[in-house]
């Protein structure tokens, strides 16, 4: 059972520092390699403040502590921090994240910026995001290029619903289609195809960190050598791209 630091007889509650030390110790025992940082992020999420203001915050009351320790136990069990907190920053915006889709990584921001660079001189570009997941690529491109016509495709209906929620929350105009790779947009052509496809090999999958195992395998496993989806994307790209169009993929 988590410690209850709340003094119900009128005594002083535990300090924020004491609560953080206890939580970090619990996470460290569970094998969390970033125990102190995770304890802080979880308490920030529980208190609704950012890290710089945490030391000025009052410790949570008994109900707040119960919420915090429930979050700590989820993290101790290996659930990714982003799923517990429910959001992840991407290119300066906050996207809702949960177990329906892969957690956006900082490296994918580089892919997004490169895609935007490649369509800089194109008027009203047509953009296709294959395997949109949380929608970070499609939504960000749509918001940065308000003249673009952006389509996001995913084979997972759950991921597509999450992308729809993010698009609506951020006010992005994105067409979302359910289906496998190019199938939902067959017959159309695009100035830019962008994708962060599954690229883990069978060997990679066998060695995954416990947190990554909580993310959808559909968004991770790319076949025996990790390149199955790349082959399919490459084979169909010629018919899906406009003359002078580009395809930009995250790899490895």
Mean pLDDT, the chain, integer: 90
pLDDT-derived band at 163 (thresholds 50, 70, 90) equals very high
Please give the Cα distance from 41 to 39 (Å, whole number): 6
Average pLDDT over residues 136-146: 98
* 43-47, long-range: CB < 8 A, 24+ apart: 43/16, 43/19, 43/68, 45/71, 45/84, 45/85, 45/86, 46/71
Lowest mean pLDDT among 38-52, 67-81, 105-119: 38-52
What distances in angstroms separate CA 144 from CA 7, 166, 173, one per listed residue?
51, 15, 11
Two structure tokens written together for 86: 């429910």
Give 3-state DSSP helix, strand, coil % of the chain, rounded to 5: 45, 15, 40
Give the percent of the chain with pLDDT over 90. Answer: 70
53-67, 130-144, 204-218: which is most confident: 130-144
- Tell me what pLDDT residue 10 has: 43
Two structure tokens written together for 63: 């109900």
- Tell me what pLDDT residue 1 has: 39
Residue 147 predicted with pLDDT over 90:
yes
Chain segment 74-84, per-residue pLDDT in tens? 999 999 999 99
Please give the Cα distance from 145 to 212 (Å, whole number): 32
Count Cα atoms within 13 angstroms, Cβ side, for 220.
Answer: 21
Where do the DSSP E strands lie in 25-121?
A: 87-90, 93-96
At residue 102, φ and ψ (nearest 5 deg) are -60, 145
Q: Which of 107, 136, 99, 86 is nearest to 212 (CA)?
A: 99
Chain segment 32-43, per-residue pLDDT in tens? 989 999 999 999
pLDDT-derived band at 9 (thresholds 50, 70, 90) equals very low
pLDDT-derived band at 50 (thresholds 50, 70, 90) equals confident
Total residue count of the chain as it appears in this document: 252
Residue 69 predicted with pLDDT over 80:
yes
């Amino acid at each position: 059972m988590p410690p209850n630091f709340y003094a119900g007889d009128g005594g002083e509650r535990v300090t924020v520092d004491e609560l953080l030390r206890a939580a970090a110790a619990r996470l460290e025992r569970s094998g969390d390699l970033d125990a102190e940082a995770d304890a802080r992020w979880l308490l920030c999420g529980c208190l609704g403040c950012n890290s710089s203001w945490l030391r000025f915050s009052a410790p949570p009351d008994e109900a707040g502590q119960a919420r915090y320790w429930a979050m700590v136990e989820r993290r101790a069990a290996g659930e990714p921090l982003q799923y517990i907190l429910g959001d992840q920053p991407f290119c300066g915006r906050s996207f809702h994240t949960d177990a329906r889709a892969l957690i956006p990584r900082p490296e994918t921001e580089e892919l997004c910026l490169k895609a935007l660079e490649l369509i800089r001189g194109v008027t009203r570009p047509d953009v296709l995001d294959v395997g949109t997941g949380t929608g970070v690529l499609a939504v960000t491109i749509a918001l940065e290029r308000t003249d673009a016509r952006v389509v996001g495709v995913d084979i997972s209906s759950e991921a597509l619903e999450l992308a729809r929620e993010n698009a609506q929350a951020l006010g992005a105009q994105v067409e979302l289609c359910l289906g496998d790779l190019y199938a939902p947009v067959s017959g159309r052509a695009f100035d830019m195809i962008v994708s962060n496809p599954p690229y883990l090999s069978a060997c990679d999958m066998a060695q995954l960190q416990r947190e990554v195992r909580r993310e959808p395998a559909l968004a991770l496993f790319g076949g025996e050598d990790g390149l199955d989806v790349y082959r399919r994307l490459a084979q169909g790209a010629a018919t899906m791209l406009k003359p002078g169009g580009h395809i930009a993929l995250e790899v490895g």
